[in-house]
Amino acid sequence: MLDKRLKSRRFAREVLIEAMEDDDPHVLMMAIRDVMRAQGMSVEQVAQDAGLNAKSLLRALNGERSPNFATARAILNAIGYALSISHRKTKRKVAAG
């Protein structure tokens, strides 16, 4: 069942951020698919706006293929979201050499 809260762009943004943090491209694509459906966006229009083939986008949304970084970024831009970088709270040691 589609979460009606995804109609809120703020809530949808939080869902997309959590999906990105999962590190599984299929999770991100499922979140994008759910946001698109909740906000009434068609596969055809998003594909056109992202510069993609609609069949390729549909395969990615259905988990049949994993998009590369540039494709995922283009899809997010097409649905009105942008990637951003923020500083991590935990520090990682950088290997010397």
pLDDT at position 71 = 93
Domain that holds residue 8: 4-78
Over residues 52-88, the pLDDT tens digits come to 999 999 999 999 998 899 999 999 999 999 988 887 7
pLDDT at position 1 = 46
pLDDT band with cut points at 50, 70 and 90 for residue 90: confident
Q: Which of the residue ranges 10-24, 35-49, 77-91 would you say has the lowest mean pLDDT?
A: 77-91
Considering the domain boundaries, does residue 89 fall inside one? no
Considering the domain boundaries, does residue 43 fall inside one? yes
Q: State yes or no: pLDDT of 97 exceeds 70.
A: no
Considering the domain boundaries, does residue 47 fall inside one? yes
Considering the domain boundaries, does residue 83 fall inside one? no
Considering the domain boundaries, does residue 69 fall inside one? yes
Whole-angstrom Cα Rg for the chain: 15
- Tell me how far CA of residue 61 lies from CA of 26, 30, 43, 73, in angstroms: 8, 6, 9, 14
Considering the domain boundaries, does residue 26 fall inside one? yes
Percentage of the chain with pLDDT > 70? 91
Considering the domain boundaries, does residue 22 fall inside one? yes
Q: State yes or no: pLDDT of 93 exceeds 70.
A: no
Q: How many domains does the chain have?
A: 1
Considering the domain boundaries, does residue 20 fall inside one? yes
Two tokens, residue 59: 């395969």
